[in-house]
Amino acid sequence: MKLRKVTAASAAVLALAVAATACGSNNSNSSSSSGGGGGKIKIGIKYDQPGLGLKQPNGTFSGFDVDVATYVAGKLGYKPSQIEFVETKSADRENALSRGDVKFIVASYSITDERKQKVDFAGPYFLAHQDLLVKKDSKIAKGTDLNGQKLCSVTGSTSAQKIVKIAPKVNLKENSGYSECVASLQSGAVDALTTDDSILAGYASQSQYKGQFKLLGLKLSNENYGIGVKKGDTATVNKINDALKAMVSDGTWKKDVEKNFGPANYKYEPAPKIGVIVK
């Protein structure tokens, strides 16, 4: 009888130990914990945007969005070694957040009323403008010149929609990424590429394209780049906003902008005020 009691007690202790170990293991791998510790954090970025988010051949990442993401993650308690960058293309950003694939997204993600219905935003942390990239000898000088011309943009981007309103007779071609659009522009398959001037400047400054393209400087829109967060996660939004304020005030924001956009002679706007959308 005594042996039976001791065995039952031992089994109970063993069960508690196993449960505790399982819980500890789950927490160590969580990407949604409030601090770093031994865990990881998954952050959505673009892989094909020079100057903003670019995956290098050796597997490392570069660009202003990458620097912002790394700084913010640091303020949340994560070391660079704890960051896992996940590719999030324009058309899948909202889904990636709702599925929980990433904790937040820093990917030239313009804040719009439509998107705010699906996700929450911290920021804005950068103000860009929609523009057109054309070949250096192109006769295109304004948006209406695109009527009857071939225009390339990316699926899920708001840029193409704005151009169609300006030039209803434009022949629109949508690709999955900007790299394909730039290659099409270089080959003559399309006549222009539209997206934010920050992205276009990054491509135009790449060595294989240098001197071939020009930005028209049209400033067709104000693009307030925000950091996308899962809808309802107010705590994370507030923490990110605090991190962005610190990034501006300690000079890191300006240093990183000049490092990533300086070579392209890109005339960037001053750091926007956190929480203030420029219409």
The string of pLDDT tens digits covering residues 241-254 is 999 999 999 999 99
Element (H, E) at 215: strand 213-215
Within the chain, all domains assigned CATH 3.40.190.10 are found at: 41-128+222-264, 129-215
Residue 170 confidence (pLDDT) above 80: yes
d(CA 219, CA 132): 9
Given pLDDT bands bounded at 50, 70 and 90, which one contains residue 14?
very low
Instruction: For 30-89, write each residue's pLDDT tens digit.
Output: 444 446 666 999 999 999 889 999 999 999 999 999 999 999 999 999 999 999 999 998
Whether residue 255 has pLDDT greater than 90 = yes
Q: What is the mean pLDDT of residues 155-184?
A: 90
The pLDDT of residue 211 is 86
Percent of the chain scoring above 70 in pLDDT: 85
pLDDT tens readout for residues 118-144: 999 999 999 999 999 999 999 999 999
Q: Does domain 129-215 have CATH number 3.40.50.10330?
A: no
CATH code linked to domain 41-128+222-264: 3.40.190.10
What is the value of pTM for the model shown?
Answer: 0.78
Residue 178: predicted pLDDT: 85
Give the model's pLDDT for residue 37. 62
Query: How much is the pLDDT for 261?
Result: 82
- Cβ atoms of residues 179 and 200 within 8 Å: no
Phi, psi (degrees; rounded to nearest 5) at 120:
-100, 155
Length of the chain as a residue count:
279
Cα 278 to Cα 223: distance, rounded to the nearest angstrom:
8
Q: How far apart are CA 223 and CA 91, in angstroms?
A: 17
- pLDDT, position 142: 95
Determine the Cα–Cα distance for residues 94 and 63; give it in Å rounded to an integer.
22
Contacts 24+ apart (CB under 8 A), 88-92: 88/44, 88/45, 88/46, 89/46, 89/154, 89/155, 89/156, 89/176, 89/177, 90/154, 90/155, 90/156, 90/157, 91/155, 91/156, 91/176, 92/156
